[in-house]
Amino acid sequence: MYTRRLFQSSHHQWAWRAAFWKHIWCRPQGAHRRTHSRSSNYRAVIFDMGGVLIPSPGRVATEWEVQNHVPSGTILKALIAGGENGPWMKFMRGAITVEDFLQEFRRLCSEMSKTSVPVDSFFSLLTCEQVAKPFPVMTEAITQIRAKGLQTAVLSNNFYLPNGKSFLPLDRKQFDVVVESCIEGVCKPDPRIYKLCLERLGVQPSESIFLDDLTPNLKAAASLGIHILKVNDPETAVKELETLLGFALRIVVPNTRPVRKTMEIPKDSLEKYLKDMLGSQTTGPLELFQFDHGQSNPTYYIRLANHQLVLRKKPPGKLLPSAHAVEREFRIMKALANAGVPVPKVLDLCEDSSIIGTPFYLMEYCPGLIYKDPSLPGLEPSQRQAIYTAMNSVLCKIHSVDIKAVGLENYGKQGDYISRQVQTWIKQYRASETSTNPAMERLIEWLPLHIPEEQKTTVVHGDFRLDNLIFHPEKTEVLAVLDWELSTLGDPLVDVAFSCLAHYLPSDFPILRGLSDCDLTQLGIPTAEEYFRMYCLHMGLPPIENWNFYMAFSFFRVAAILQGVYKRSLTGQASSATAKQSGKVIEFTSNLAWDFAVKEGFRIFKKMPATKLLKRSYHTWASPQCLLNATGMRSYISFPDTSRANASKGALVISPEGLSQPVREQYCRLKRFMEQHVYPAEWELQRHQASVKRWTPSPLLEDLKEKAKAEGLWNLFLPLEIDPEKKYGAGLTNVEYAHLCELMGMSPYAPEIFNCSAPDTGNMELLVRYGTEEQKARWLMPLLEGKTRSCFAMTEPQVASSDATNIESSIREENGLYVINGHKWWISGGHGEVLFDHVRVPKENMVLGPGRGFEIAQGRLGPGRIHHCMRLIGCSERALALMKARVKSRVAFGKPLVEQGTLLADIAQSRVEIEQARLLVLKAAHLMDVAGNKAAALDIAMIKMVAPSMAYRVIDRAIQAFGAAGLSSDYPLAQFSAGARALRFADGPDEVHRAAVAKMELKHCP
């Protein structure tokens, strides 16, 4: 049953071919030798056309007669009527025109059948494209005959068409000679036309074989000494011709083709080598085909006597020492065969380049099925299930090999496999990078930070896919695992993930057909998750949680490989359309990799232990210690001295108590500094701001900056991910910084004192990420040292600048400089209005490159942009603290204000809103830490929407409780209020953030 279905499926022609192959080549050697000895006599094969290469007029007529109710046999009789002088033969000799022929032929047919016969319609049918199609089996045979160096000819009784050309629906290039009766004026079986053909071929009659479907034509040829072959049906005729010629006329080895010119190998020396290796009884010519699917090591099929072999060699030319190591392939296959893994039997490794130009190895040819389409068309669901199960279990077999027992313990480095792989592919990618790919950039940062902690070491195939397996033609059994080029020792899960690539690719994906748009349940194919679970079950492993990491890495690797291919194609002749297409494929694959990284980020996030989430012990804030001091500053509690020195980087810490010991110490130092130096200086700093000296730096502020620097409370903002070596900043994660930033938000002057104020923070981050060394020295270092300030000039008075695409300022190149023209206002660092009038900027000042601003904007999607939100939490806390102190001490209508129910409600409302906003801020910061800025986009937009209006409401309630004092400059509330109000559009209007949140929300609609 199963076998029959396989054979019925056109996709599984291979099964049929494999069977045929066996039939042809497993016959006794004697028979093979005999046919071979005859083959050397022939130099040409001559084909009749109608009935041999294309359907015969007689056959076409039979069907036509049935359809047109013409008595059966009429046409055939009319064709031969009159012999040499009948209309058909005259027409064949080109003696009469089509019109004359049709007139005479019509009369003849009508006389014979005693009815009117529409011969024009028969003639149209005979010569129409659909009917006059060459038989594929013949076309294939002709290709093979010519590939063997024999000549081919058409010798046809033929006629002219109404357009004056002869009727020849063949590819002329397939024939050395074409002889047509209508052109020569002579018809078969006239011996002259055969002689003419032989003459043009330059061969003797005995050196040629003639194929025709008509006996008189064959007899005439035979009488001249030509070998003849009667064609009843093309398939049988080709088989007989194979016997006569002594070589195969059909490509019977699946996935092979004649060897490409550029891939030819010296056959004579190879033949000699093989005969020496296989023994003296090995006779016969060497047949060579090339396997056609994309391995980087050229692979050949060899037939020699009754041996079927596969030769795999290094590509020619200069190679990297580790690349294309056929020796390694030979070694691993040999070792694995001993361990019971199904691999082709390797026979010999030849490292002597003098034989065929490069080292090579030989293995036995393993006939079977290779499923190129992972959806397995033409099979039953249960068969598909069985095939994927067999694939899974053979992978388990590979991963269960005892590497020591089979002598493979030094086949690769042991341990740390993924780190090494990640670095290798980053390097490869960088070496072939042609433009900046944002997803790849994010992955290059993300992957090294998320290397799985636990990795086993086993044999790793490195390219384990369905189409690298040979299956038994009739059973769902893997006969051999192929292509060990990338094999090594490493983490087996990489193989499992790699074998699921197709699951996530669409079916029209150009390089590897995918399954993502198929209904896997209906097809009977296990989903990636089921496949993975099946693997764990076979291996006796617990479920693998970080599956998305492995998928992210696998697609990253694919994207890096494709980038290499793309770069190489650019040096060749690839068209711009092809290049564009390849670019899209790389982008698609890298985005897919990033999607998995995001999923992994969410998984890590969700896995955060609940106990940690509950750790923030706000209740301590109600303790006497946390009462406000006289100035209304929040005494930000002292923490119990828990020693959590090793709290992991990248954890979601919702309370400062949960910070790692060094960061907690930093937090306490910052808090102390705020209390000792910043709050007391506020009044003085505010006076300076209101004075005429406001445009010169305040000496007090400069002094505080030096103090902060001396205490190491400096540049705390630079996220660990972009400055892992802490070269420029404190190396805090976004979550850690959020807690410290909240403290700084309690005073409007604090951020500048600690060199953490906007827009310097964002600008410094940008220079760290994208600046050249020169740019860093010139702009970044003075900023880091607090010796200079920077600005951000985007907004323009004449256009709605909340939509950055409205911006009208221009930049153009002129005489080796950039020239800027534009009108800007609200420029940070004083919020000035500036006219840029032909401002000339040296070209080397451009960061990253012209037109790459968007990339920069994408790259710095995160940290700098949420510092406002972190600070707003602190600002709200301080407003609430001031409010609480005020309402306790202020008496109205005979009792403290705090006893008014509305004020209690206001306090409660403010506390709740601050807590909600803080959690969202921390969640966004945490996502940025674990999944990257892009993955946190929704949360970033949400907090930008939430934080300014929350702060504005909390501050407003505090002002209300203070009465007129709230608006005076004796308290910071009015200043806070203006700041929070401005941030409802200064960092993008609320509406724009709301629109972004809604859009993302709707995107996830089922």
Ligand X SMILES: Cc1cc2nc3c(=O)[nH]c(=O)nc-3n(C[C@H](O)[C@H](O)[C@H](O)COP(=O)(O)OP(=O)(O)OC[C@H]3O[C@@H](n4cnc5c(N)ncnc54)[C@H](O)[C@@H]3O)c2cc1C
Question: Do β-strands 151-156 and 44-47 pair in parallel, antiparallel, or remain unpaired?
Answer: parallel
612/994 with CB nearer ligand X: 994
In the complex, what is the shortest distance from the CB of residue 758 to ligand X, in angstroms, rounded to a whole number? 7
Shortest reach from residue 998's CB to ligand X, in Å: 11
Given the complex with ligand X, which of 183 and 998 has the nearer CB atom?
Answer: 998
Task: Give the residue with the Cβ less far from ligand X, 671 or 984.
Answer: 984
CB of 1002 to ligand X, least distance (A): 15
Q: Binding of ligand X at residue 986 (CB under 6 A)?
A: yes
Among 19, 161, 982, 1000, binds ligand X (CB under 6 A): 982
Bridge pairing between strands 307-313 and 469-471: unpaired
Least distance CB 471 / ligand X (angstroms): 57
Structure-block tokens of residue 284 = 């016969």
> Which one of 87-95, 362-370, 571-579, 986-994 is the stretch in contact with ligand X (CB under 6 A)?
986-994
Stretch that binds ligand X, among 195-203, 601-609, 735-743, 987-995 (CB under 6 A): 987-995
By CB under 6 A, which span of 523-531, 593-601, 710-718, 826-834 interacts with ligand X?
A: 826-834
Q: Which is nearer to ligand X, 57 or 988 (CB)?
A: 988
Assigned token pair, 827: 């420029």
Q: Which stretch binds ligand X (CB under 6 A): 310-318, 530-538, 563-571, 786-794?
A: 786-794
For every residue of 937-961, DSSP letters joined together read HHHHHHHHHHHHHHHHHHHHHHHHH
Size of the site for ligand X (CB under 6 A): 19
Q: Angle at Cα 442 formed by Cα 441 and Cα 445, nearest 5°?
A: 90
Q: How far is the CB of 827 from ligand X (least distance, A)?
A: 6
- Which stretch, 219-227, 360-368, 383-391, 793-801, contacts ligand X (CB under 6 A)? 793-801
User: Could you say whether residue 802 binds ligand X (CB under 6 A)?
Assistant: yes
| Choices 139-147, 577-585, 967-975, 981-989 (CB under 6 A): range interacting with ligand X | 981-989
Cα(875)–Cα(881) distance, rounded to whole angstroms?
Answer: 10
**Smallest distance, Å, CB 317 to ligand X?**
55
Amino acid sitting at position 927: L
Among 339, 701, 827, 974, binds ligand X (CB under 6 A): 827
**In this chain, which of 801, 876, 910, 933 binds ligand X, going by CB under 6 A?**
801
Give the one residue of 405, 622, 690, 794 binding ligand X; rule: CB under 6 A: 794
> Cα(526)–Cα(388) distance, rounded to whole angstroms?
7
* Distance, CA of 439 to CA of 456 (rounded, Å): 29
Contact present, 230 and 224 (Cβ < 8 Å): no
**249: exposed, middle or buried (Cβ count in 10 Å: 0-12, 13-18, 19+):** buried
User: How far does CA 182 lie from the centroid of its chain?
Assistant: 58
Nearer Cβ to ligand X (666/876): 876
Distance CA 708, CA 674 (A): 10
Query: Binding mask 741-770 vs ligand X (x if CB under 6 A, - otherwise)?
Result: ------------------x-----------
| For ligand X, the closer CB: 7 or 836 | 836
233 or 808: CB nearest ligand X: 808
DSSP at 640: P
Q: Which listed residue (257, 831, 843, 999) binds ligand X by CB under 6 A?
A: 831
Tokens 């009917």, located at residue:
131
Whole-angstrom distance between the N-terminal and C-terminal Cα of the chain? 42
Helix (H, G, I), strand (E, B) or coil at 473: coil
Q: Which stretch binds ligand X (CB under 6 A): 341-349, 380-388, 442-450, 792-800?
A: 792-800
Closest CA to 174 of 54, 269, 265, 84: 54
Q: Please identify which residue in 995, 998, 999, 1001 interacts with ligand X, judged by CB under 6 A.
A: 995
Q: What is the CA radius of gyration of the chain?
A: 41
Q: Report long-range pairs for 576-584 (Cβ below 8 Å, ≥24 apart).
A: 581/510
Query: Least separation, in Å, of the C-beta of 992 and ligand X?
Result: 5
592 interacts with ligand X by CB under 6 A: no
As measured in angstroms, the least distance from the Cβ of 999 to ligand X is 11
Q: What is the 3-state secondary structure (H, E, C) of 737-750?
A: HHHHHHHHCCCCCH
CB of 860 to ligand X, least distance (A): 15
The correct pick among 71, 383, 985, 1000 for binding ligand X (CB under 6 A) is 985
Q: Which is nearer to ligand X, 584 or 831 (CB)?
A: 831
Asked if 836 is part of the footprint of ligand X (rule: CB under 6 A), the reply reads no
Question: Strands, DSSP E only, in 335-374?
Answer: 346-350, 360-364
User: Of 652 and 872, which CB lies nearer to ligand X in the complex structure?
Assistant: 872
The CA-atom distances, in angstroms, between 84 and each of 47, 73, 89, 161, 179 are: 22, 20, 6, 20, 19
Taking the complex as a whole, the smallest distance from the CB of residue 759 to ligand X amounts, in Å, to: 6
Least gap, CB of 863 to ligand X (angstroms): 17
Q: Which of 143, 173, 166, 158 is nearest to 51 (CA)?
A: 158
Q: How far is the CB of 829 from ligand X (least distance, A)?
A: 8
**With binding defined as CB under 6 A, does residue 828 bind ligand X?**
yes
Q: Which of 488, 757, 795, 876 binds ligand X (CB under 6 A)?
A: 795
Residue number, 568 or 831, with CB nearest to ligand X: 831
By CB under 6 A, which span of 201-209, 425-433, 589-597, 824-832 interacts with ligand X? 824-832
As measured in angstroms, the least distance from the Cβ of 789 to ligand X is 12
**DSSP classification of residue 345:** P
400 vs 809, beta carbon nearer ligand X: 809
DSSP state at residue 542: P
Choice between 526 and 748, CB closer to ligand X: 748
Instruction: Count the neighbouring beta carbons within 10 Å of the beta carbon of residue 403.
Output: 18
Yes or no: say if 406 and 509 are a contact pair by the CB < 8 Å rule: no
Q: How many helices (H) and strands (E) does the chain have?
A: 38, 20
372-397 per-residue burial string, b: 16 or more CB within 10 A, e: under 16: bebbbeebeeebbbbbbebbbebbbb
Mapping DSSP onto H, E and C, the string for 642-698 reads CCCCCCCCCCCCCCHHHCCHHHHHHHHHHHHHHHHHHHHHHHHHHHHHHCHHHHCCC
What tokens appear for 504 in the block? 């996530």
Binder of ligand X out of 20, 639, 826, 836 (CB under 6 A):
826
Minimum distance from residue 942 beta carbon to ligand X (Å)? 16
165 Rama sector, left if φ>0, alpha if ψ -120 to 50, beta otherwise:
beta
Q: Which of residues 353-372 bind ligand X (CB under 6 A)?
A: none
Nearer to ligand X, 359 or 863 (CB): 863
Best CA proximity match to 323, nearest among 112, 564, 531: 564
For the bound state, the minimum distance from the C-beta of residue 820 to ligand X, rounded and expressed in Å, comes to 14
Q: Which is nearer to ligand X, 326 or 870 (CB)?
A: 870
From the list 24-32, 731-739, 794-802, 849-857, the region that binds ligand X by CB under 6 A is 794-802
What are the two backbone dihedrals, phi and then psi, of residue 718, each rounded to the nearest 5 degrees? -65, 115
800 binds ligand X (CB under 6 A): yes
* Residue 856 near ligand X by CB under 6 A: no
Of the pair 759, 966, the CB lying nearest ligand X is at 759
Residues that bind ligand X (CB under 6 A): 759, 792-795, 800-802, 826-828, 831, 982, 985-986, 989, 991-992, 995
